[in-house]
């Protein structure tokens, strides 16, 4: 399934995460303090996900516009 | 046969066909159900047909409450609600009062709710306007109003401009004008324009709204109160009927009123609330649990989850370029496939691929608007939705190819703009089709067809041999009135190799009165309107045969292995004519004794069957004089003949009139007009005078004059019959009568006798006595045969309006 970034952004956070789990591929997952940060690849773009382990809330599910962040995560 | 029976026959045939193909009347084979998988015909499939949009049927709270209610109250409480209801009813009604912030009455089903509401709320001084696509259960209740002769009319779907016009026209005569609509329409999933309706409710004191929001309940609005109340107040002139058997997931229905008095009156007087059984404890228990969820914040999470899936579905349908009929925010989707045969094919393909989808077919939608209807629930994963839509997009081109239908046909049938790539595909398709075994030949005049070729197909089938067609062309062209100008189109489908015709017919395209086959009293009411607007309720129709001819208008060589393919080419040609002349309908007519295979072919291709008046034919003519004719009659007819015909025979002088003068023709025409104006059972436009002049000088026809010889005074022409006399059969086509003498001298019966006698004298094989007056025609030995036509219509609004008028003829055309 091909989805553009714009189309992906039409959905709420819960749905975005669901779409990532059903159609995407998890390429990175790191626990940083009280957060789990994950990167997914879906269609031809990457998405950054923040889940707060304290509150069990999804804090961020946003496409990556600057790919250099991947290098940063690699170094952490 | 009554038209209702014929419609039921068509429905029966369509559904039975679906059952035979293993796509309708299915049973699940699972021992337990959970989630959205079901087992059908030994295969596990994802269910895309459920209306339980929130998936609450598996919620443990509802299940536990249901079990507890059975433990506490038993499996049923069998007393009419007029006497006693169990405690859970009161609890549930109080919860619903909170959900809707308005008084409610609970009914066992939405249909029973309508049957309780509509006859109680709508009074004899009121008028009713129903939306063209309002749910059948609403119309079922509206039919009850016809007993009280309440004014009922049908409005084109969602046309608020027309509604306003009708309100203005009706408001001085009616205390209340009720507009009946659906919140979300159950087939295409589109919605009623509620904001505009609220504006009209505020503007016109006489307007009241009755709305069925079955598919909107739970999935929209505060407390899941539905699509109508989504961000809106409860309008004081609105009654809301909604279902608990869809997203609410418990069964039952709830009727909501703007005031206590209205609720009380329905609760007290609504027929099913007095005499029908109540909702049973298991359902009530579950409903209390569901209502409690609706009154919590949780309902909004559930709504959000569903709406995200709806949004995703709309996106996927666009991505895969499927011909979706309406993008909407309901959980119902409809992908057009055009004809029933493609619908059957697609549902089968989807089942094989692991997806159960619904077939949207007649009578829920018009024949040519068949489609795949599917629903989305909160239980569907995004992956399931995407895979199902992708499968549909992959399978549809295959089904279309197999059934010889194109994307362009779909877009045209649903009046949707075709995407560019579809138009390109169509061009490629036409090139390919030229290489097939058959070829369609189209002619604009009989003069372009070889006389022997045409007569080899149609001689002795009716009055439309080569000469007959020439006469029709000469008579129905270059006239002043639009109804007197017919387009003629001849289609012959031939096998390319042998050149032999496989299917042939001629089409005429002209204006028809939409009430042509309606009961006389309906036509009487419509004719009153036509005094002001002569073209009121008329439509351009492309039909095999013509309004003047009868008989076997369609030649089919059923020995040819290609006859069905040839019929498809004929349908294509008919569709081209429909497009060219912009006609509302295609009619294939005059069918008797059809086999199932032929009938299925027509229905699969989007035609519905309708009854024509019985056709009367006299066969085995063995008489040469009146005595021999008398001997040929049955015992009863002999008595009738002696009493009503023979007794007056010597009062008449019979003449086969040759070389008439203009005065003769004018007199004949006035006699014809007497008959035309006297009979509305087969309501057509009057024939032009020119036709009579043409018949008079045509060798294939003869004119029989009946002159009365009174005791004193000159002879008087009291009847004239124009008959096609060429060939084996005798076909009296037009009759003219002077009704002044009919009661005393039984002029019509005498004319029938003289025609029969004449046919016998000429040694004809059969007399085609045409439609209507079957009882009189039986008395001269005619046998009435049920005759059918098959019709495709683009817009069935007029037909629906006439159907409503047929139910209440005296009131619905004020």
- Are A1 and B390 a contacting pair at CB < 8 A? yes
Rg (CA), chain A: 12
What global pTM score does this model have?
0.78
* Predicted pLDDT of residue B430: 46
A-chain CB neighbours of B382 within 8 Å are: 15, 18-19, 22-23
How many CA atoms lie within 13 Å of B371's alpha carbon, on the beta-carbon side?
Answer: 27
Sign of CA dihedral B269, B275, B276, B278: positive
DSSP B543-596: EES-SS--B---EE-TTSTTHHHHHHHHHHHHHHHHHHHT-SEEEEEEE-S--H
pLDDT tens-digit readout, B383-419: 999 999 999 999 999 999 999 899 988 998 888 887 7
pLDDT tens-digit readout, B448-460: 999 999 999 999 8
A-chain CB neighbours of B390 within 8 Å are: 1
Q: How far apart are the first and last CA of chain A?
A: 32
CA distances from B522 to B46, B145, B236, B530 (A): 49, 17, 36, 13
* CB neighbour burial string for B373-383, b if at least 16 within 10 angstroms, e if fewer: bbbbbbbbbbe
- Are B381 and A22 a contacting pair at CB < 8 A? yes
CA distances from B666 to B635, B669, B750 (A): 40, 5, 22
DSSP B302-317: HHHHHHHHHHHHHHHH
Q: How far apart are the first and last CA of chain B?
A: 29
* Structure tokens that stand for B475 in this block: 């008579």
**pLDDT average, residue stretch B334-340:** 94
* Structure tokens that stand for B352 in this block: 């094989």
* Predicted pLDDT of residue B814: 33
Backbone angles phi, psi at B464, to 5 degrees: -115, 40
Q: Using the predicted structure, report yes or no on whether residue B4 has a pLDDT greater than 90.
A: no
- The rounded mean pLDDT for chain B is 90
**pLDDT average, residue stretch B627-635:** 88
CA distances from B729 to B346, B491, B619 (A): 48, 25, 10
Structural domain of A49: 5-75
A-chain CB neighbours of B312 within 8 Å are: 11, 15, 19
**pLDDT average, residue stretch B740-748:** 89
- Are A12 and B308 a contacting pair at CB < 8 A? yes
* Predicted pLDDT of residue B87: 95
The number of domains in chain A is 1
Sign of CA dihedral B458, B459, B460, B462: positive
How many CB atoms neighbour CB B630 within 10 A? Answer: 16
Token match 């994307």: residue? B407
- Are A22 and B308 a contacting pair at CB < 8 A? no
The angle, 0 to 180 degrees and rounded to 10, between the axes of the packed helices B466-475 and B451-458 is 100
* DSSP bridge partners of B792: B586
**pLDDT average, residue stretch B732-744:** 89
Identify the closest residue of chain B to A11 by CA–CA distance: B308
**pLDDT average, residue stretch B621-637:** 87
Confidence class of residue B42 from pLDDT cuts 50, 70 and 90?
Answer: very high
B-chain CB neighbours of A23 within 8 Å are: 382-383, 386
How many CB atoms neighbour CB B557 within 10 A? Answer: 16
Do residues B683 and B515 touch, judged by C-beta distance below 8 A? yes
Query: Strand B538-544 to strand B585-591: parallel, antiparallel, or no bridges (unpaired)?
Result: parallel
Do residues B758 and B722 touch, judged by C-beta distance below 8 A? no
* Predicted pLDDT of residue B812: 41
Do residues A12 and B308 touch, judged by C-beta distance below 8 A? yes
> Distance (Å, rounded) from C-alpha B141 to C-alpha B806?
16
- Are A15 and B308 a contacting pair at CB < 8 A? yes
Interface list for chain A against chain B, based on CB atoms closer than 8 Å: 1-3, 7, 10-12, 14-15, 18-19, 22-23
Q: Using the predicted structure, report yes or no on whether residue B764 has a pLDDT greater than 80.
A: yes
B-chain CB neighbours of A15 within 8 Å are: 305, 308, 312, 382
* DSSP bridge partners of B356: B47
* Predicted pLDDT of residue B623: 87
Identify the closest residue of chain A to B312 by CA–CA distance: A11
CA distances from B52 to B221, B224, B234, B427 (A): 17, 13, 25, 43
- Are A19 and B315 a contacting pair at CB < 8 A? no
DSSP, res B418 = P
pLDDT tens-digit readout, B154-204: 999 999 999 999 999 999 999 999 999 999 999 999 999 999 999 999 999
* Predicted pLDDT of residue B681: 76
Residue count (chain B): 814
DSSP B207-240: EEEEEE-TTTTTTSSGGG--STTTT-PPPTTEEE
* Predicted pLDDT of residue B518: 78
Sorted by sequence, the CB contacts under 8 Å of residue B264 that are 6+ apart come out as none
DSSP, res B189 = -
- Are A23 and B316 a contacting pair at CB < 8 A? no
pLDDT tens-digit readout, A46-75: 999 999 999 989 999 999 887 777 777 777
Do residues B69 and B396 touch, judged by C-beta distance below 8 A? no
DSSP H helices in B697-796: 742-745, 747-761, 774-778
pLDDT tens-digit readout, B426-474: 554 444 444 568 899 999 999 999 999 999 999 989 899 999 999 999 9
Sign of CA dihedral B790, B793, B799, B800: positive
Best residue in A19, A23, A40 for a mutation probing chain B (most B CBs within 10 Å): A19
* Structure tokens that stand for B656 in this block: 């086969």
pLDDT tens-digit readout, B358-388: 999 888 888 889 999 999 999 999 999 999 9
Give the lowest-confidence range in B553-557, B753-757, B774-778: B774-778
Sign of CA dihedral B548, B539, B522, B614: positive
- Are B383 and A2 a contacting pair at CB < 8 A? no
DSSP B80-130: -TTT---HHHHHHHHHHHHHHTS-EEEESSHHHHHHHHHHHHS-TT-EEEE
> Distance (Å, rounded) from C-alpha B217 to C-alpha B183?
9
Confidence class of residue B333 from pLDDT cuts 50, 70 and 90?
Answer: very high
Look at phi and psi of residue B446 and say left if phi exceeds 0, alpha if psi is from -120 to 50, else beta.
alpha
CA distances from B631 to B502, B621, B625, B635, B758 (A): 43, 11, 10, 9, 16
pLDDT tens-digit readout, B110-157: 999 999 999 999 998 999 999 999 999 999 999 999 888 899 999 999
Interface list for chain B against chain A, based on CB atoms closer than 8 Å: 304-305, 308, 311-312, 315-316, 319, 381-383, 386, 390
Closest to B553 in 3D by CA, of B367, B732, B788: B788
B-chain CB neighbours of A19 within 8 Å are: 312, 382
Q: How would you class B636 by CB atoms within 10 Å of its CB: exposed for 0-12, middle for 13-18, buried for 19 or more?
A: exposed
- Are A23 and B305 a contacting pair at CB < 8 A? no
B-chain CB neighbours of A18 within 8 Å are: 381-382
B-chain CB neighbours of A43 within 8 Å are: none
Which of B308, B311, B386 is the closest to A1 by Cβ?
B386
- Are B383 and A12 a contacting pair at CB < 8 A? no
């Amino acid at each position: 399934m091909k989805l553009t970034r714009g189309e992906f952004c039409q959905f709420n956070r819960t749905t975005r995460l669901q779409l990532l789990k059903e159609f995407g591929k998890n390429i990175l997952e790191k626990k940083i303090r009280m957060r789990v940060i994950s990167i997914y690849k879906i269609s031809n773009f990457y998405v950054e996900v923040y889940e707060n382990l304290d509150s069990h809330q999804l804090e961020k599910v946003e496409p990556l516009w600057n790919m250099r962040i991947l290098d940063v995560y690699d170094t952490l | 046969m009554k038209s209702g029976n014929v419609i039921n026959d068509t429905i029966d045939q369509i559904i039975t066909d679906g059952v035979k193909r293993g796509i309708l009347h299915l049973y699940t084979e699972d021992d337990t159900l959970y989630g959205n998988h079901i087992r059908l015909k030994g295969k596990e499939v994802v269910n895309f047909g459920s209306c339980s949009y929130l998936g609450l049927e598996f919620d443990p709270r509802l299940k536990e409450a249901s079990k507890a209610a059975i433990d506490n109250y038993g499996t049923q409480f069998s007393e009419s609600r007029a006497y006693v209801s169990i405690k859970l009813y009161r609890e549930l009604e109080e919860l619903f009062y909170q959900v809707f912030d308005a008084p409610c009455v609970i009914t066992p089903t939405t249909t029973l709710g309508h049957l309780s509401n509509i006859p109680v709320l709508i009074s004899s001084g009121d008028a009713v306007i129903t939306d063209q696509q309002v749910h059948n259960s609403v119309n079922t209740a509206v039919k009850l109003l016809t007993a009280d002769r309440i004014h009922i009319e049908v409005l084109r779907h969602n046309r608020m401009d027309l509604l306003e016009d009708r309100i203005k026209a009706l408001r001085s005569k009616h205390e209340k004008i009720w507009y009946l609509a659906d919140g979300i329409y159950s087939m295409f999933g589109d919605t009623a324009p509620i904001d505009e309706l609220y504006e009209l409710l505020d503007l016109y004191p006489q307007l009241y709204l009755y709305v069925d929001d079955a598919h909107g309940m739970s999935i929209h609005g505060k407390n899941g109160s539905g699509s109508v109340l989504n961000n809106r107040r409860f309008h004081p002139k609105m009654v809301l009927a909604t279902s608990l058997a869809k997203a609410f997931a418990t069964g039952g229905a709830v009727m909501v009123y703007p005031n206590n008095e209205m609720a009380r009156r329905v609760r007290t007087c609504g027929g099913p609330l007095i005499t029908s059984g109540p909702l049973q404890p298991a359902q009530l228990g579950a409903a209390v649990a569901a209502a409690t969820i609706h009154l919590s914040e949780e309902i909004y999470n559930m709504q959000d989850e569903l709406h995200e899936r709806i949004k995703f579905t709309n996106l996927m349908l666009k991505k895969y370029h499927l011909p979706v009929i309406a993008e909407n925010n309901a959980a119902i989707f409809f992908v057009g496939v055009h004809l029933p045969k493609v619908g059957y094919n697609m549902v089968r393909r989807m089942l094989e691929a692991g997806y159960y989808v619904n077939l949207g077919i007649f009578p829920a939608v018009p024949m040519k608007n068949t489609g795949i209807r599917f629903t989305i629930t909160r239980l569907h994963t995004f992956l399931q939705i995407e895979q199902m839509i992708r499968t549909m997009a992959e399978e549809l081109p295959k089904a279309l190819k197999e059934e010889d239908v194109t994307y362009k046909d779909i877009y045209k049938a649903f009046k949707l703009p075709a995407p560019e790539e579809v138009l390109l595909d169509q061009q490629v398709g036409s090139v390919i089709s030229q290489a097939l075994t058959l070829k369609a030949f189209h002619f604009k005049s009989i003069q372009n067809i070889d006389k022997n070729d045409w007569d080899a197909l149609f001689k002795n089938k009716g009055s439309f041999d080569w000469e007959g067609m020439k006469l029709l062309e000469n008579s129905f062209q270059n006239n002043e009135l639009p109804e007197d100008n017919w387009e003629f189109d001849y289609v012959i489908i031939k096998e390319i190799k042998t050149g032999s015709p496989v299917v042939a017919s001629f089409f005429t395209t002209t204006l028809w009165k939409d009430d042509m086959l309606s009961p006389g009293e309906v036509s009487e009411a419509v004719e009153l309107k036509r005094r002001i607007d002569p073209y009121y309720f008329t439509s351009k129709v492309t039909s095999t045969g013509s309004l003047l001819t009868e008989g076997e208008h369609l030649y089919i060589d059923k020995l040819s292995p290609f006859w069905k393919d040839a019929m498809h080419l004929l349908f294509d040609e008919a569709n081209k004519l429909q497009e060219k002349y912009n006609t509302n309908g295609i009619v294939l007519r005059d069918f008797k004794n059809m086999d199932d295979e032929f009938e299925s072919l027509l229905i699969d291709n989007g035609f519905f069957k309708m009854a024509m008046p019985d056709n009367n034919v006299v066969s085995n003519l063995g008489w040469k004089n009146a005595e021999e004719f008398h001997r040929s009659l049955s015992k009863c007819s002999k008595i009738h003949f002696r009493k009503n015909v023979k007794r007056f025979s010597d009062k008449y002088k019979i003449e086969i009139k040759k070389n008439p003068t203009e005065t003769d023709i004018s007199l004949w025409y006035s006699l014809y007009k007497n008959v035309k104006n006297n009979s509305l059972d087969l309501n057509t436009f009057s024939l032009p005078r020119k036709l009579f002049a043409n018949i008079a000088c045509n060798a294939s026809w003869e004119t029989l004059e009946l002159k009365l010889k009174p005791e004193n005074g000159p002879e008087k022409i009291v009847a004239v019959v124009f008959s096609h006399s060429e060939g084996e059969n005798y076909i009296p086509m037009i009759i003219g009568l002077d009704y002044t003498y009919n009661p005393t001298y039984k002029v019509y019966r005498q004319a029938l006798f003289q025609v029969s006698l004449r046919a016998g004298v000429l040694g004809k094989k059969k007399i085609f006595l045409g439609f209507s007056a079957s009882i009189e025609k039986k008395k001269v030995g005619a046998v009435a045969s049920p005759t059918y036509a098959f019709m495709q219509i683009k817009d069935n609004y007029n037909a629906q309006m006439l159907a409503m008028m047929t139910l209440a003829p005296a009131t619905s055309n004020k």
